[in-house]
Structure formats: structure tokens, C-alpha cells
Structure 1
């Protein structure tokens, strides 16, 4: 991880503003969803990209009951269940 040298304070609601330079470099637009991770004493923000809940694959996703599943996973699950897909 490299330091940007940028320091921001939290406002009274616990919010921070991401500087425009970071948003441009990381292609983060207004209202883009960000994922938050914690690694020991670090908070990590990552641009959210939906992925298959089983494999992490990001192509050909289908939503089922609020979860993302790739078509290739669906085919593999059908095969495991003994279903023939033509």
C-alpha cells in the first residue's frame, strides 16, 4: 500500500470526502457503490463489482433472490443435481 499524503477528518456524522484526484484515478463516480473491508487496523475501500457468490466470477451474472450467480455456475450446479440442459 502506498501513501497519498492526503489526510481528511471525519465530519460529525462520521463521513469523509474522497479527494477528486483519488476518484479520478480510481474511476469512482458519484453514487458508485464502494465495499468496505477491515484488515487489522486498516479500513479498505474498494469499488464494488458484483460477483458470483460461489466462484467470484464477474461475467454472465444472473440475480436469484438477491444473490448473483454466473451462468457457468448454474450449469455446473445443474450437472451436479443430475439435470440435463440442452
Structure 2
């Protein structure tokens, strides 16, 4: 992790502003989603990448009732429910 030397205050609502040069460097737009994580003693803000709610995979995803699911887990759920499906149907 590199240090930028930029210091910001947290406002009364707990917000901080990510400087425009950093947003530009990372390709973050005005309404883009970011993920906030804690790693040891650091707060990490990174671009949000959707992942399967079951296995965490970031490949072959689709949304079902507002949840992100990968095809592999969808097929496993169908098998578990006694409804085997072929790969193109899930």
C-alpha cells in the first residue's frame, strides 16, 4: 500500500472525501459502488466487485431476487432441491 500524503477530516456525519486525482487514477465515477474493509489497523476502500453470496466466486454471475449467485451454486441448489438442471438452464 502506498501513502499519498493527503490528509482529510471526517465530517460530523462520518464522511470523508476521496480526492479527485485518486478517484481518476482508480477509474471511480460519481455513483460507483465501493467496498469498505478493515485489514488489521487500516481502513481499505476498494471498487466493489459483485460475488456469489454462497461461494464468493466472481465468475458467471447473475442476480436472483436481489442476490448475486454464480451458475455453479445455482446448479448445486437445484440438485439439492431434487431438480437437476442442465448448465444452460441455470
Q: Residue 35 of structure 2 contacts residue 48 of structure 2 at CA under 8 Å; is this kept in 1?
A: yes
Q: Distance in 2 between matches of 1:81 and 1:54?
A: 16
The structural deviation recorded for 1:75 is 1.6
Q: Aligned residue pairs: how many? A: 86
| Structure 2: stretches of 5+ with no match in the other structure | none
TM-score, scaled relative to structure 2: 0.77
Deviation per CA, 1:6-53, whole angstroms, max 9, x where unpaired?
A: 111122322111111110111111011111112232111111111111
Considering only aligned residues, what root-mean-square deviation do their CA atoms show, in Å?
1.9
| Structure 1: stretches of 5+ with no match in the other structure | none
TM-score, scaled relative to structure 1: 0.79
Kindly report structure 1 stretches of 4+ aligned residues shifted beyond 4 Å: none
Partner of 1:59: 59
